[in-house]
């Protein structure tokens, strides 16, 4: 992490999980928020599972999952070397064992294997792909933010294809995406995935869903299941009890089988 004051000014120290997880993030560019924590909460991992986060950035989602489920084998992947270094430093600062790797998710299988991710090696993949269509949104002048947020049309297919390759048979892909583009998610998952579970995420009880949390199992032939939605805020704008619990580190839905780890000593 930067040692001089000028470099330190380019970063912020941000608290997640009610202060139990502290992450350094770039002041400008893509910054993790509630989507990362919702994604982590939706992953049904157990101790000993091999978990890979695609597009990890500073590591928020993967590290939040590792905080909740102690003992996972976690790999954080990003195309940006500076963010990979930051994710590795954030893992160390929170006493979480993780490996951060620079990798383009569109790279050929041989490069994945060289990075320690051969086919059929992971129990879980989680990802928050860029989901703002480039033709609908003005591109940010910040290159890192552009890469993190703009979907050039094939990003979802590429990321899902990479997940299908590295997951074991029966392994689970968990992702968060725009609710108004559920059709794109289902199309991307059509090849090789089944047992799809969809959790709509609503800003308020009377609002339309803004996000979907999706779980899909490699090789499954089970039917699609539309789950009960997650409402983030009540009619007064206050966090719902479930959202508050998730943002403090609980699993989405019935997560009683997953015991949060102790707060690490600094």
* Weakest mean pLDDT among 53-57, 100-104, 252-256: 252-256
Q: pLDDT tier at 167 (50, 70, 90 boundaries)?
A: very high
Look at residue 154 in the predicted model and tell me its pLDDT: 85
> The tokens 């910054």 sit on which residue?
31
Cα 13 to Cα 58: distance, rounded to the nearest angstrom? 11
pLDDT confidence tier of residue 166, bands split at 50, 70 and 90 = very high
The kind and range of the H/E element at 174 are strand 167-178
Measured CA to CA in angstroms, residue 212 lies from 18, 37, 136, 140, 231 at distances of: 23, 13, 20, 24, 12
Domains and CATH numbers, the chain: 18-248 (3.40.50.150)
């Amino acid at each position: 992490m930067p040692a001089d004051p000028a470099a330190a000014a380019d970063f912020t120290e941000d608290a997640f999980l009610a202060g139990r997880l502290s992450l350094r993030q770039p002041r400008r560019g893509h910054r993790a928020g509630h989507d990362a924590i919702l994604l982590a909460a939706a992953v049904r991992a157990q101790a000993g599972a091999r978990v890979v986060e695609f597009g990890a950035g500073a590591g928020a989602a993967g590290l939040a999952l590792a905080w909740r489920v102690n003992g996972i084998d976690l790999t954080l992947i990003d195309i940006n070397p500076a963010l990979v270094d930051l994710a590795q430093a954030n893992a160390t600062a929170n006493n979480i064992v993780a490996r951060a790797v620079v990798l383009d998710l569109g790279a050929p299988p041989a490069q994945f294997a060289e990075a320690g991710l051969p086919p059929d090696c992971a129990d879980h993949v989680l990802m928050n792909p860029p989901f703002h269509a480039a033709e609908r949104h003005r591109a940010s002048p910040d290159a890192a933010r552009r890469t993190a947020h703009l979907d050039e049309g094939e990003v979802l297919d590429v990321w899902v294809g990479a997940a299908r390759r590295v997951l074991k048979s029966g392994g689970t892909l968990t992702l968060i995406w725009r609710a108004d583009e559920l059709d794109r998610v289902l199309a991307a998952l059509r090849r090789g995935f089944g047992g799809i579970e969809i959790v709509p995420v609503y800003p308020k009880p009377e609002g339309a869903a803004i996000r979907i949390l999706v779980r899909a199992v490699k090789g499954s032939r089970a039917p699609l299941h539309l789950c009960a939605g997650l409402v983030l805020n009540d009619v007064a704008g206050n966090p719902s009890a479930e959202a508050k619990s998730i943002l403090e580190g609980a699993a989405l839905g019935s997560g009683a089988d997953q015991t949060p780890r102790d707060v690490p000593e600094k």
